[in-house]
Chain A
Amino acid sequence: MTNTIADVTRESDVILLVGSNPEEAHPVFGMQIRQALQRGAKLIVVDPRNIGLSKQAAVHLKLKPGTNVAFANGMMHVILEEGLEDRSFIESRTEGFEALRDLVKDYTPERVAEICHIDPEDLRTAARLYAKADRAPILYCLGVTEHSSGTEGVMSLSNLAMLVGKLGRPGCGVNPIRGQNNVQGACDMGASPTDFPGYQKVTNPEVRSKFEQAWGVSLPAEPGMFATDCFPAMLEGTIRGLFIFGEDPMRTDPDTNHVRRALSALDFLVVDELFLTETAKLADVVLPGISYAEKEGTFTNTERRVQRVRKAVPSPGNAKPDTWIFTELMNRMGYPQPHLTPAQIMEEISSLTPSYGGISHARLDSEELHGQGLQWPCPSPEHPGTPILHVGQFSRGRGLFAPYAYVPSMELPDESYPFLLMTGRILYHYNACAMTDKTPEIVEIAGGSFLELNDQDAARLGIADGDTIRVSSRRGTIETTARVSGKTSPGECWMPFHYLEGNCNWLTNAALDRIARAPEYKVCAIQITKA
Chain B
Amino acid sequence: MSLLHVTIDGIPVEVEKGTTILEAAERVGVKIPTLCHIKGLMPDGSCRICTVEIQNRGRSKMDTACSAHCSEGDAILTRSEAVVKARRGILDMLLSNHPTNCFSCPSNGECKLQDLCYEYGVKETSCPGEMSNRPVDDSNPFFTYDPNLCILCHRCVNTCHKIVGCGAIDTMERGFESVISPAFGMPWRESNCESCGNCVAACPTGALTSKRKQNYRPWQVEKKVLTTCPHCAVGCQYYLMVKDNKVVGVEAADGPSNHNTLCVKGRYGSYDFIHSNGRLTDPLIKDRSTGEFRKASWEEALDLVASKFQAIKREYGNGALAGFACSRSTNEDIYMLQKMVRTCFGNHNTDNCARV
A411 to B283, CA, bound (A): 42
In the complex, the chain B residue whose C-beta lies closest to that of A252 is B356
B348 contacts the other chain (CB 8 A) = yes
Most chain B beta-carbon contacts within 10 A, residue among A194, A228, A435: A435
Q: Say yes or no: A297 contacts B226, CB within 8 Å.
A: no
Residue of A nearest to B326 (CB): A246
Chain B residues with CB below 8 A from A241, complex form:
308-309, 312-313, 320-322
Please indicate the chain A residues that have their CB under 8 angstroms from the CB of B211 in the complex.
441
Give complex CA distance A91, B351 in Å: 38
Of B234, B316, B319, B333, which contacts A301 at CB under 8 A?
B234
Known: A31-B165, A252-B353. A186 touches B326 (CB 8 A): yes
The answer to whether B350 touches A184, judged by C-beta atoms less than 8 angstroms apart, is: no
Assess whether A225 is interfacial by the CB under 8 Å rule.
Answer: yes
Chain B residues near A295 (CB-CB < 8 A): 330, 333
Is B288 touching A26 in the complex (CB atoms < 8 A)? no
Does A345 lie within 8 Å of B336, measured CB to CB?
yes
Q: Is B127 an interface residue (CB 8 A)?
A: no
- Taken together as a complex, chains A and B put the C-alpha atoms of A168 and B121 apart, in Å, by 57
The A252-295 residues at the B interface (CB cut-off 8 A) are 252-254, 267-268, 270, 273-276, 280, 283-289, 291-295
A342 at the interface (CB under 8 A from B): yes
Smallest Cβ-Cβ distance to B308: which chain A residue: A268
- Per the 8 Å Cβ criterion, residues 305-337 of A in contact with B are 305-314, 316-320, 322-323, 325-330, 332-335, 337
A181 pairs with B233, CB closer than 8 A: yes
CB of A335 within 8 A of CB of B344, answer yes
Shortest Cβ distance from residue A227 to the other chain B in the assembled complex, whole angstroms: 4
How does the 8 Å CB contact mask read for B317-356 relative to A, with 1 for contact and 0 for none? Answer: 0111111111111111111111111111011111111111
Which of B235, B264, B339 makes the CB contact (< 8 A) with A427? B264
A-contacting residues, B138-195, CB 8 Å: 141-142, 162-166, 194-195
Contact A188/B303 with A35-B162, A247-B353 known, Cβ cut-off 8 Å: no
| Interchain CB contact under 8 A, A320 and B280 | no
Please determine whether A445 and B141 come into contact, CB atoms closer than 8 angstroms.
yes
Given contacts A329-B305, A438-B273, A441-B141, contact A293 B326 (CB under 8 A): no
Chain A residues in 8 Å Cβ range of B271: 293
CA distance in complex: A378, B111 (Å) = 43
Proximity string of chain A (94-128) to chain B, C-beta cutoff 8 Å, 1 when within and 0 when not: 00000000000000000000000000000000000
Q: Roughly how many angstroms separate A4 CA and B341 CA in the complex, as a whole number?
A: 33
A223 interface hit (Cβ, 8 Å): yes
The CA of A292 and the CA of B262, in the complex, are separated in Å by 18
With a CB–CB cut-off of 8 A, which chain A residues contact B276?
275, 438
Is B27 interfacial (CB-CB < 8 Å)? no
Report the separation of the CA atoms of residues A439 and B210 in the bound assembly, to the nearest whole angstrom.
14
In the complex, residue of chain B having the shortest beta-carbon distance to the beta carbon of A369: B256
Stretch at the interface among A40-48, A63-71, A213-221, A413-421: A213-221
Size of interface on B: residues with Cβ below 8 Å to A: 115
Cβ of A28: which chain B residues have Cβ within 8 Å of it? 234, 236, 257-258, 261-263, 266
Residues of B within 8 A of A293 (CB): 225, 227, 240, 247, 271, 274
A209 and B69 alpha carbons, distance in the complex (Å): 65
Contact A220 B346 (CB under 8 A): yes
Minimum CB–CB distance from B263 to chain A (whole Å) comes to 3
**Contact call A434/B273, Cβ cutoff below 8 A:** yes
- Verify B324–A240 contact, CB threshold 8 A: no
Chain A residues within 8 Å of B304, by CB: 285
Chain B residues near A27: list those with CB within 8 A: 194, 196, 232, 234, 263-265
Contact across chains for B265 and A312 when beta carbons are under 8 A apart: no
CB distance from B4 to the nearest CB of A (A): 27
Task: Tell me the smallest distance from the CB of B78 to a CB of chain A, in Å.
Answer: 28
Answer whether A297 and B328 are a contact pair too, CB < 8 Å, given A217-B343, A225-B322, A288-B281.
no
Q: With the chains together, A303 CA to B164 CA distance in Å?
A: 20
Q: Could you say which of A191, A284, A316, A428 contacts B264, with CB atoms under 8 Å apart?
A: A428
Contact A242–B324 (Cβ < 8 Å): yes
Contact A435 B230 (CB under 8 A): yes
**Contact status of A285 and B305, CB under 8 A, knowing A28-B234, A518-B355:** yes
Which A398-441 residues have a C-beta within 8 angstroms of B? 427-430, 434-436, 438-441
Assess whether B113 is interfacial by the CB under 8 Å rule: no
Q: Are A313 and B246 within 8 A (Cβ)?
A: yes
A476 to chain B, nearest CB (A): 17
A240→B253 CA distance, assembly (Å) = 46
Q: Does A54 contact B (CB under 8 A)?
A: no
A438 engages B309 (CB within 8 Å): no
Chain A residue with the shortest CB-CB distance to B300? A285
Q: How far is the CB of A522 from chain B (nearest CB, A)?
A: 13
Considering the complex, give the chain B residue whose CB is closest to the CB of A269.
Answer: B286
Q: Does B298 contact A (CB under 8 A)?
A: yes
Interface-lining segment among A79-87, A132-140, A172-180, A466-474: A172-180
User: Given the complex of chains A and B, what is the CA–CA distance between A284 and B256 in angstroms?
Assistant: 43
A185–B327 touching, CB < 8 Å: yes
- In the bound complex, do residue B331 and residue A182 qualify as a contact, i.e. CB atoms below 8 Å apart? yes
Contact: A284 with B288, CB < 8 Å? yes
Contact A182 B245 (CB under 8 A): no
Complex-state Cα separation, A34 to B198, whole angstroms:
15
Q: For the complex, is B33 an interface residue (Cβ under 8 Å from A)? A: no
Q: Give Cα A445–Cα B264 distance, bound, in whole angstroms.
A: 11
A442 contacts B by Cβ under 8 Å: yes
The proximity string for A residues 225-250 relative to B, scoring 1 for CB distances below 8 Å and 0 otherwise, is 11110100000001111111111010
Rounded to whole angstroms, the CA-CA distance of A182 and B353 in the bound complex is 10
Q: Chain B's nearest CB lies how many Å from the CB of A251? A: 10
Q: Does A59 contact B (CB under 8 A)?
A: no
Q: How far is the CB of B285 from chain A (nearest CB, A)?
A: 5
- Taking a contact as CB atoms under 8 Å apart, the answer to whether B234 and A5 are in contact is yes
Asked whether A191 lies within 8 Å of B338 as measured between CB atoms, the reply is yes
B281 contacts across to A, CB distance below 8 A: 288, 316-319
Question: Is A302 an interface position by the 8 A CB rule?
Answer: yes
| Cβ-closest chain B residue relative to A242 | B322
Is A486 close to B, CB under 8 A?
Answer: no
Q: Is the CB of B263 within 8 A of A285?
A: no
A302 and B235 form a contact (CB under 8 A): yes
Q: Are A346 and B302 in contact (CB under 8 A)?
A: no
B298 touches A245 (CB 8 A): no
Residue of A179, A193, A303, A305 near B348 (CB, 8 A) is A193
Residues of B within 8 A of A288 (CB): 279-283
Cβ contact of A247, chosen from B226, B306, B324, cutoff 8 A:
B324
A372 CA / B254 CA spacing, docked (Å): 9
Counting CB contacts under 8 A, is A190 at the interface?
A: yes
- B contacts, CB < 8 Å to A: 141-142, 162-166, 194-196, 211, 223, 225-237, 240, 242, 245-247, 253-258, 261-266, 268-276, 278-286, 288, 293, 296, 298, 301-310, 312-313, 316, 318-344, 346-356
Top 10 A-B residue pairs of the complex, sorted by shortest distance between their CB atoms: A317-B281, A34-B165, A246-B326, A301-B235, A297-B330, A224-B348, A27-B263, A332-B306, A441-B141, A288-B280
List 6 additional contacts besides A34-B164, A181-B233, A186-B326; criterion CB under 8 Å: A29-B234, A190-B350, A193-B348, A238-B320, A244-B324, A436-B273
22 A-B residue pairs with Cβ-Cβ distance under 8 Å, sorted by A, are A31-B166, A180-B353, A182-B327, A183-B354, A189-B335, A191-B327, A191-B338, A197-B335, A202-B348, A222-B348, A243-B337, A246-B325, A246-B328, A286-B293, A287-B283, A316-B275, A327-B336, A333-B310, A349-B335, A371-B237, A429-B265, A513-B355
